[in-house]
Amino acid sequence: MAVLTPKQREIADRERLILDVGRRLLIDHGLPGLSMDRIAEAIDYSKGTVYQHFSSKEDVVAALFIETLAKRTAMFQRAAAFRGTTRERVTAIGVADRLFVTQHPDHFRIENLADLDAVFAKTPVERQESRNRIKRSMMEALDAIVADAVTAGDLSLPEDVPYCQVMYGLWTLSVGHHTLESSRDNTESMALRPGWYPLWNNYLALLDGYGWAPLSQDWDYVASRDKIVAEVFPEFDRHAADFED
């Protein structure tokens, strides 16, 4: 089965094509702008054929979301492998998050549009399982950092606090930040400088609050941040400006 028949090739290519067209429609015209009719028209096949690939419009969106999630997870895994203190490694996750948002804005946009129950509820179980599998592998990479921090003595948590709670805090900070930022008037109504600073500062405060050593007062995390970009994400090095505003 190593080699595909021409027909199988065509089908595989078409699946890619549908996703690419779908992504464009989703980015350019939002969720309501993505319709099966439009996809069919754009790829010059009939609607029925599109339904052969995806069971519903939501299924297309979910498939796009999964691609996005895989990309984010890959970046997080690279970040988690940074060689440095455990707190630098968790900082690397924050950096990866920021780079993901700024360097793959299309993917990031899709995360906001597609990670909704309304979408996945109309999707075949395999798709849902696929999503859960990737999310789980992401969480594992993150929890491992906390576990390492505890064994290294950089962090000591009360008995009743599970490892994942710390990462969960960072995650909620990020999700909340991007949710609020995505609707313009929210940040507008606050006298807050837009961009990355508020989130970065809240990361620092939360980790300091948990007592994750070395504390921000004892270490130059801006320097760490630059080092992380240079070592882990050299392809984005030139874009250090992403952190400036």
- What whole-number distance in Å separates Cα of residue 48 and Cα of residue 40? 8
Using DSSP's 3-state secondary structure scheme, residue 214 falls into: coil
14-33 binders of a copy of itself (CB under 8 A): 30-32
CB of 48 to DNA, least distance (A): 2
x/- mask, a copy of itself, residues 40-79, rule CB under 8 A, reads ----------------------------------------
Residues in region 173-192 near a copy of itself by CB under 8 A: 173-177, 179-180, 182-186, 188-192
Q: Residues interacting with DNA, by CB under 7 A?
A: 5-8, 10-11, 14, 34-38, 45-49, 51-52, 55-58, 122
Integer CA distances (angstroms), 142 to 10, 39, 130, 131, in order: 39, 37, 19, 17
How far is it, in rounded angstroms, from Cα 201 to Cα 194? 13
Which partner, a copy of itself, DNA, none, binds residue 17 by CB below 5 to 8 Å per kind? Answer: none
∠ CA 49-52-53, rounded to 5° = 105
Residue 18 or 146: the one with the smaller Cβ distance to a copy of itself is 146
Residue of 12, 81, 152, 161 interacting with a copy of itself (CB under 8 A): 161
Do residues 166 and 159 touch, judged by C-beta distance below 8 A? Answer: no
Selection from a copy of itself, DNA, none that 147 binds (CB < 5 to 8 A by kind) is: none
CB of 131 to a copy of itself, least distance (A): 8
- Strand, coil or helix: what is 234? helix
Q: Which of 169, 176, 231 is nearest to 204 (CA)?
A: 169
**45 versus 171: smaller Cβ distance to DNA:** 45
Residue 87 · residue 149 · CB < 8 Å: yes
Q: What is the C-alpha radius of gyration for the chain, rounded to an integer number of angstroms?
A: 21
State yes or no: cis peptide before 214, omega within 30 of 0: yes
Q: Residue 234 carries which side chain, given as an amino acid letter?
A: P
Q: Specify the DSSP class assigned to residue 183.
A: S
Least Å distance between CB 69 and a copy of itself?
12
- The answer to whether residue 207 forms part of the interface with a copy of itself (CB under 8 A) is yes
Q: Return residues touching a copy of itself (CB under 8 A).
A: 30-32, 115-118, 120, 128, 131-132, 135-136, 139, 161-162, 164-165, 168-169, 171-177, 179-180, 182-186, 188-193, 198-199, 201-202, 204-210
